[in-house]
Structure 1
């Protein structure tokens, strides 16, 4: 198992190198434009060339990337072109904001999806139709429209929750809960629509298998069959769906954070891409790949624990 974990981590490092190299090559074509943006409208070709030399952007592309990669391996991701702040600590701070929204949303989504999916698969009939209706409703309503609707109801009309902004947990836990409530609800509604349908389908497959019929002929209660046998066998695919849901929520953070003015990872990456802030773009790319690699690794280990057939020999 240790060897497998090391191999997966190594593959994640290689993937991070390849992605950041590709990003760097794509950004290298816009060094001149970034220099002109920094200098403003009064920039001259001479001042642009001087800034390029000062930033080291006139050197060979591969040399620049290897310098960045060596510094990143030591934990130094450079400084922002526009704010002159270290990229590494800024990315970690923004990532903490994003995870403080995604993690609660993923936990609530997983609990509701398992309950709804198992309930629908084991009961059938009207319960199953209700579960399918919930999934359909989650797919129909766009996340952006849903976010605006919730803001109008809870922030503007009822004034129960803030419409925008973020309060760190360390400053005021109650204010933190209030600031993330609407974003979490938006993510949960979209997540339950997808994940509950996956859990329901997997549970229906499990409950139709031969071993379930055998257990029923032996007089084992339906509750025990569903919770102790079918649910455990359906748990491995459900974990995979949960990891994919995490990645999807991570991608949705771009929209959520911009709608609610949250200083998170997605808005940080979006603003950096608009400004052409090369060190920040490279930093968020590297951190994003590492995070996805860790999530996939944890999912594989959990799958091995739930399903002995999937364990690494």
Structure 2
């Protein structure tokens, strides 16, 4: 297990480096640059040349990336040349919003999906077929339509939850929770039925194995068989789906933050991309990549707990 984690950490470090380099190169190849964004529509060639040189844009791309990487390795993500704000401070102020949405939606999807999937596997019949239909509907539901329906019903027609904005947890825990209900539901609802279907299929495969028959023959209770034995054996594909759900929701927060006017990292990334704000883009990309790496490592640790064969690898 230790060797597995060491290998994962090595691969993760290489992944962060490759992603940061590709992001830098793609941004450099995009039309326009930071100097034009700062000067606006009307500027003289002399002013542009002077600012272009001051920002270091006349240097080769790899040289500029090397300067950024040297500072990043020391924990300095730089300063936005457009806004003049510290990149680390901007990310720190917006990260709780994105994490609240992503972690909340992942937890809601996993808990509801596992509960419904186990129920469907145990009961079967029409309930199982209903989940197949719901899973297809979950894939088909557009997020923007679902968000508008939820806002119309639960923020306008029945004003139970706020339609926009974000309240920090430390300021008002109740307001923080109420403000997350609609955006988290928008993110979680389409994937819940899909999660339930995958859980049901894994549970059915586990319940059909020989050890379950032996447990029933020895008089073990059905509840113990389902919750202690079958669910644990079905856990590996479910853990995989939890990791994939979290990673997918990271990109989904970009849209949800815009619809519900929440100041998260998605909005910051979109704004920085339009302004050719390279330090901010690099900072957001690094945070997203580290989040993916952390989730994958957590999934590996969960595999080791669920499957002893992984621990001995």
User: Normalised by the shorter chain, which TM-score bucket?
Assistant: over 0.9
Structure 1 residue 32: Cα displacement? 4.9
Q: Tell me: CA distance 1:168–1:41, structure 2 relative to 1, closer, same or farther (3 Å).
A: same
Residues 172-231 of structure 1, C-alpha deviations (whole Å, 9 max, x = no match): 112111211100111221221221111111111111222222322333332222112111
CA distance in 2, matches of 1:32, 1:128: 53
The equivalent residue for 1:226 is: 226
Match of 1:58, SS state, is coil
* More displaced stretch, 272-281 vs 219-228: 219-228
CA distance in 2, matches of 1:194, 1:271: 32
**Structure-2 separation of matches of 1:98 and 1:312:** 36
Please name the residue that 1:296 is paired with: 296
Equivalenced residues, count: 313
Tell me if structure 2 keeps the 8 A contact 1:232–1:306.
Answer: yes
Question: How far did 1:29 drift?
Answer: 3.0
Normalising by structure 2, what TM-score? 0.95
1:235, distance to aligned residue in structure 2 (A): 0.9
Give the corresponding residue for 2:55.
55
Q: Normalized against structure 1, the TM-score is what?
A: 0.95
* 1:10 alignment partner in structure 2: 10
1:27 maps to what in 2?
27
In the alignment, does 2:137 pair up with 1:133? no
Matched residues in 2 for 1:23 and 1:187: separation?
26
Are the counterparts in 1 of residues 95 and 264 from structure 2 also a CA contact under 8 Å? yes
Q: Secondary structure at the match of 2:33?
A: helix
Structure-2 separation of matches of 1:277 and 1:4:
37
Change (3 A) 1:66 1:192: same
Cα distance, 1:51 vs. partner?
A: 0.7
The 5 Å alignment of 1:34-183 reads: 34-183=34-183
Corresponding position: 1:199 with 2:186: no
Of 100-109 and 193-202, deviating more is 100-109
Contact 2:35/2:55 (<8 A) preserved? no
Q: For 1:67 and 1:85, locate their aligned partners in 2 and report how far apart those are by CA, in whole Å.
A: 19
State the distance in 1 between where 2:32 and 2:249 align: 35
Give the distance between the partners of 2:202 and 2:299, measured in 1 at CA. 17
Contact 1:13-1:290 at 8 Å conserved across structures: no
On the 8 A contact 2:146/2:186 being kept in 1, the answer is: yes
SS in 2 for 1:212: helix
Gaps of 5+ in 2: none
> 2:264 and 2:50 mapped to 1: Cα distance?
34
Question: Which residue of structure 1 lines up, in the alignment, with residue 257 of structure 2?
Answer: 257
d(CA) in 2 for partners of 1:144 and 1:173?
27
- RMSD of aligned Cα (Å): 1.6
**Structure 1 unaligned regions, length at least 5:** none
Q: For residue 236 of structure 1, what is the aligned residue in structure 2?
A: 236
Contact 1:31 1:57 in 2 (8 A): no
**Is this contact kept in 2: 1:272–1:281, CA < 8 A?**
yes
In structure 2, what is the Cα distance between the partners aligned to 1:30 and 1:242?
34
CA apart distance, 1:31: 7.7
